[in-house]
Amino acid sequence: MGKLADIQIRAWIKSGERFEGRADGAGLYLRFREGDSGATWRFRYRFDGKQRVMNLGSYAVLSLADARKTAKDLSAKVALGHDVAGEKQERKREAAAKIEADKNALTVGQLADEYFERMILGRWKHPNIVRSRIENDIKPNIGKMKAEDVKPRDIDSMLQTIVKRGAPTTANDVLRWIKRIFDFGIKRHVIETNPASAFDIADAGGKEETRDRWLSREEIIKLFQAMRDKAGSFVIENKYAVRLLLLLAVRKEELVAAPWSEFDLDNAVWHLPEERTKTSAAIDIPLPPMAVETLRELHRLANGSRYVFPARKMQQRMIPHIDLNTLNAALSKHIKPLLKDVPNFTIHDFRRTARTHLAALGVDPFVAERCLNHKIKGVEGTYNRHDYFDERKAALNAWASLLKALEEGRQDYNVVPLQSRRPAA
């Protein structure tokens, strides 16, 4: 067993404590020096009488458990006479030589992958969002084309394909990312001009209007009925994801990328860390019994995976959990065709749905906003640090009672509105 612990490491990072190295044992140590963008794992060993060190990766990407396993594997190789750091450098040199040799023949897909690895992975809080746009929108349209052969008409065709499938916001996102990818290509001397540079959002999905869509009780009943009707093709993990997104009002990326290490099911709490929230604000989410029951079943289905929603068979992704687009695609393919009388909705509308029903249940607005992990604005937000955990627990329990009734098709089920006012902080 090593000397380090995840809770201790997170505390160091959160407090901004800097250090040259904190050893875990067996050559593995963590470094977080002044000027470092994040804590990194390093492996120290001796080879041919000389001390050697190699970088294993960022703590944000490589967990403590995975770092220990990597260090163990490297130690075994060193014992067999391998200079693992030297071999890694040699592999890097060989890779660089190959990239240099092939740079004039890079496809858009290859360029996008390189952009992701160098500019997004390890730098962005939610890299899977960018990965989703590359895999689901850019590669299927222009991924196989040589980067140098792409013309503005190809960009326009890709954007219009996305718009026609009813995803204007996605089209805007794709335009933003493809511009950056081609700019990266210019810097790499892969291309000389950016074929997307002349486009703006008017050429893609247009100006994005603030959405106000939420699902009524009747619509939620129809949604769950459709999922039951399509139980053979709409897998149970997707149904549980929809249930949890509605119940907990969290963002999609927060749930689908969640590792089991964040959950304390025995005490019914989800410890969502700041590095995985949009607002960079950590929050302890109280879990109603309905959520705990669902998560325990997902834990069984995960079959030992570190993630609540592990990547599925034949899913070729650079991330270990399901893609952000998995639920959207499954809903569009299997569920929405059964809801022809229900106006279109998105997964993000589930948060607004929960917020609306919390209000109808008499939940104090401040408590409801904290249920969504929204920052409180103004003086109140600056000085009031009360987290309303008990109040949020009561609110989510009331919402869970209603949601369970709706899932069972009981539209007229009455939940006693919460009468408690917001207590003093």
* Residue-wise pLDDT tens digits, 347-383: 989 999 999 999 999 999 889 999 998 876 654 444 3
The pLDDT, as a whole number, for residue 1 is 52
Residue pair 230/338 in contact (Cβ under 8 Å)? The answer is yes
How far apart, in whole angstroms, are the C-alpha atoms of residue 277 and residue 125?
A: 8
Identity of the highest mean pLDDT range in 58-67, 90-99, 374-383, 403-412: 58-67
Residue 258, domain CATH: 1.10.443.10
The mean pLDDT value of the chain amounts to: 88
Q: Which of 74, 100, 126 is the last residue of a domain?
A: 100
Residue 413 resides in a domain? no
Residue 128 resides in a domain? yes
Residue 133, domain CATH: 1.10.150.130
Closest residue by Cα to residue 38 from 307, 275, 273, 276: 275
Q: Which residue has the higher pLDDT, 6 or 97?
A: 6
How far apart, in whole angstroms, are the C-alpha atoms of residue 123 and residue 119?
A: 7
Q: Which domain holds residue 359?
A: 217-407
Q: What is the pLDDT of residues 225-277, one digit of tens each?
A: 999 999 889 999 999 999 999 999 999 989 999 999 999 999 999 999 988 88
CA 183 to chain centre: 25
Give the mean model confidence (pLDDT) for residues 116-144: 88
Same domain, 255 and 137: no
Cβ neighbours for 189, distance < 8 A, ≥ 6 positions apart: 103
pLDDT bucket at 417, cuts 50 / 70 / 90? low
pLDDT bucket at 104, cuts 50 / 70 / 90? low
Closest residue by Cα to residue 373 from 274, 275, 281, 242: 281
Q: Give the amino acid at 349.
A: D
Task: Give the whole-number percent of the chain exceeding pLDDT 90.
Answer: 66
Print burial letters for 345-376: b (CB count within 10 Å at least 16), e (below 16).
bebebbbbbbbbbbeebbbbebbbbbbbbbeb
Residue 425 resides in a domain? no
Q: Which residue has the higher pLDDT, 385 or 160?
A: 160
Residue 192 resides in a domain? yes
How far apart, in whole angstroms, are the C-alpha atoms of residue 305 and residue 64?
A: 15
Residue 414 resides in a domain? no
Same domain, 159 and 53: no
Residue 420 resides in a domain? no
Same domain, 230 and 307: yes
Same domain, 336 and 398: yes
Number of domains in the chain: 3
Lowest mean pLDDT among 51-55, 223-227, 311-315: 311-315
Same domain, 183 and 227: no
Q: Which residue has the higher pLDDT, 138 or 423?
A: 138
pLDDT at 181 > cutoff 70: yes
pLDDT at 425 > cutoff 60: no
The pLDDT, as a whole number, for residue 385 is 45
